[in-house]
Every structure is written in C-alpha cells, then in structure tokens.
Structure 1
Amino acid sequence: MLDARLRPLIDPPLNALGRVLADLGVTANAITSIGILLVIGAGALLAQGQFTLALVVIIVNRLLDGLDGPVARITGPTDFGGYLDIVADFVFYLAVPLGFGLAAPANLVPSLVLACCFGLTGISFLAFATIAGKRGMETSAHGKKTFFYNTGLAEGTETIVVFILFCLWPAHFPTIALTYAGLCIVTVIQRTAAAWAAFKP
C-alpha cells in the first residue's frame, strides 16, 4: 500500500548510491546474495533472542534490497537477477517469522500462521505477475521491475514496519503476527478481485 508512495522519496538516494557501487564493479546479484545471507543470519539471531542485533541486520538487508535494483538498471538487468531478487524477498519474509517461532514456544503457532499467509500473498503476487506478463501488461507504480508488480494492502514497506515492531516489542510478537496475517489475507482477496477484473473471460 505504501511502497508506491515512498518510491519518489527513496529512489533518488538509492539510485545515487547504486551508481557508486556499479562504478566500483559491484554487481546486483552480489548485493542480493549478500542480503540473503544476512537475513538468514538475522533469523538465527532472532531464534537466540538477539532482537536488537537482528534488527540491525534486518535494516541492512533492506538497504541492500533497495540497492540491487538501481545497480541492475545501470549495469543491465537480467532475468536471473529478477528471479534472485524475488527469491531473496521471500527468504526475508520467511526467515524472520521462523526466527521468532524458534525464540519462544508461545510464538510457534503465530509464526506458522504468518508464514503460511506470506506464502499465500506470494502465490497471489506471482500468479498475477505471470498472467500479466503473458498479456503484456505493464506498470511503473513500483519503479521499473523485471515483472508486473500488483499492489495490495500488505506490501514490502508494511512488512518492514511490522518486522521492526517484532524486534522492538518481542513479547507482543503473537498479537502483531496474527494481526498482520489477517492483513495478508485481505491482500490475497484484493489481488484475487483485481485478477478477476483484469483476467475474466
């Protein structure tokens, strides 16, 4: 919901830093891969109750996630880069709930519910993108992307905010996680309605 609104604010500094990294010979795939390793580490830290350190790693991961796109646009985007980027996003979406689920017995069921709801939002997102690509549909709401980005109530910005709340108030993880899982379901319903409007016979 907030991603498209934030793009005009965050794109200029990310593009400038991305240009510096590209000039230094850093590749977009390297940035994405480092981000994947970092967020797996964040999940391990969360499982050990190291919430503050995990939060720092999560923020660095999101910075890298914002930088691989600008670098790719400068050096030349690739299909594999687009694939790796979306895989990295879902490693992020699953590693953090898994870490919290392992941190305390009370977190296990809420983390499973949230992970399942993230899976559903991912399926709805990728299914829409696949059919939209087949039909030649395009959107620039989220900047230039490898494939079609369909909007929804629970997107990247909202997820980052929720993950920060998890780390700041870990005792409230079950309540926050289940609430956000509900918003993910609403997002799936939104995308399904959008798919019906766009793809109906």
Structure 2
Amino acid sequence: MFDAKLRPLIDPPLNAAGRWLAKIGIGANAITLAGIVLGIGAGIAAARADFDLALLLILANRLLDGLDGAVARATRLTDFGGYLDIVGDFTFYAAVPLGFGLTAQANQLAALVLLASFILTGISFLAFATIAAKRGLESQAHGRKSFFYNTGLAEGTETIIVFTVMALLPQHFAALAFGYAGLCLLTVLQRTLIAWQTFDG
C-alpha cells in the first residue's frame, strides 16, 4: 500500500549506495544471499526469544533487500537476480513468523495462520506477475524490477512495520499476526479483482 509512495524518498539514497557498492565490486546477488542469511537469523533469534537481535536482523535484512536492487540497477538487472530476490523475500516472510511461533505454544496458531496468508499473497503476487509478463504488461510504480510488481494493501513496508512491532511487543504477537493475516487476505481479494479486470475485462 505504501511501497510505491515511499519509492521517491528511499530510492535516491539507496541508488547512491548501490552505485558505490557496485563500484567497489560487491554484486547484487551476494547482497541478496547475505540478506537471506540475516532473514533466517531473525527467525532463529525470535525462536530463542532474543527479540532485540531479531529486530536488528529484520531491519538489516530489509536494508540489504533494498540495496541488492540498487546495485543491480547500477550494473544490470538479471532474471536470476530477480528470481533470487523474490526467493529471499519469501524466505524472510517464512522465517520470522516461524521463529515467533516456536517461541511459545500460545503463538503457534497465529503463526500458522500468518504463514498461510503469506503463501496466498505470494501466490497471488507471482501468478499476476506471470500472466502480466505473458501479456507484455509493465509497471515501474515500485521502481525498475525484473518482473511485474502488482500493488496491494499488504506489501513490503507494511510487513516491515508489523514485524518491527512484533519484535518490540512480542507479548502481542498473536493479535498482530491474526490482524495482519486478515490484511493479507484482503490483499489477495484485491489482487484477484484487479486480475479479473486486467486479464478478463
């Protein structure tokens, strides 16, 4: 929901950092892989109830997620880089709820519901991107990407905010997870309506 609105603010510093990293020889895929390691680490930290470390790793993961694209834009966008980026995103989206679910038995149902909602949003996102590519549709609302990014109520910015609040207020994980899962399901419905209008209209 907020991703496209924030791009004009976050892209200039990210792109400047990306040009510098590219200049010193750090590749986009290496940054993506480092981000995957940090994302998994965030889940492990949450599972160990080390929520301060989990928060630090969540924020570091998201920073690297922005930097890998900036480096790719400074050098060249590749299909494999786009693939690796989305795998990294969903590894992160799986690791953090899983970690919180392992922290306490009371969190497990909420974590499972949130993971299921992430699966559905991921499917709606990737299915839309696949058909959009087949039809030659393009959008740069989320910046230059390797494939079509369809908007939604629950996007990256909202997920970062929710994960941050979860790490700050872990005692409220279940309520936050159920609430965000509901927003994810609304996003699936929203994307389905957009797909119907775009592909079947």
Q: TM-score, normalised by structure 2?
A: 0.99
Separation of aligned partners in 1, 2:39 and 2:126 = 22
Does the 8 A contact of 2:35 with 2:88 survive in 1?
Answer: yes
Q: CA deviation at 1:93?
A: 0.6
| 1:4 equivalent in alignment to 2:33 | no
Counterpart secondary structure, 2:150 = coil
Separation of aligned partners in 1, 2:41 and 2:191 = 32
| Stretches of structure 2 lacking an aligned partner (at least 5 in a row) | none
Separation of aligned partners in 2, 1:42 and 1:160 = 12
Counterpart secondary structure, 2:25 = coil
| 1:34 equivalent in alignment to 2:30 | no
| Stretches of structure 1 lacking an aligned partner (at least 5 in a row) | none
Q: Give the letter aligned to residue 62 of structure 2.
A: R
Q: CA deviation at 1:76?
A: 1.0
Q: CA deviation at 1:18?
A: 0.5
Q: Give the letter aligned to residue 128 of structure 1.
A: F
The RMSD of aligned alpha carbons is 0.6
User: In the alignment, what sits opposite 1:159?
Assistant: 159
Q: Give the letter aligned to residue 14 of structure 1.
A: L
After superposition, residues 107-122 of structure 1 pair within 5 angstroms as: 107-122=107-122
User: In the alignment, what sits opposite 1:16?
Assistant: 16
Q: CA deviation at 1:107?
A: 0.4
Q: CA deviation at 1:171?
A: 0.2
Q: Give the letter aligned to residue 67 of structure 2.
A: L
Q: Give the letter aligned to residue 27 of structure 1.
A: G
| 1:198 equivalent in alignment to 2:198 | yes
Runs of 4+ with deviation above 2 angstroms: none
Q: Give the letter aligned to residue 2 of structure 1.
A: F
Does the 8 A contact of 2:15 with 2:74 survive in 1?
Answer: no
User: In the alignment, what sits opposite 2:169?
Assistant: 169
Provide the aligned length of Structure 1 versus Structure 2: 201
User: In the alignment, what sits opposite 1:188?
Assistant: 188
Separation of aligned partners in 2, 1:70 and 1:31 = 10
Q: TM-score, normalised by structure 1?
A: 0.99
Q: Give the letter aligned to residue 147 of structure 1.
A: F
Separation of aligned partners in 2, 1:4 and 1:76 = 22
Q: CA deviation at 1:59?
A: 0.6
Separation of aligned partners in 2, 1:42 and 1:163 = 10
Q: CA deviation at 1:2?
A: 0.1
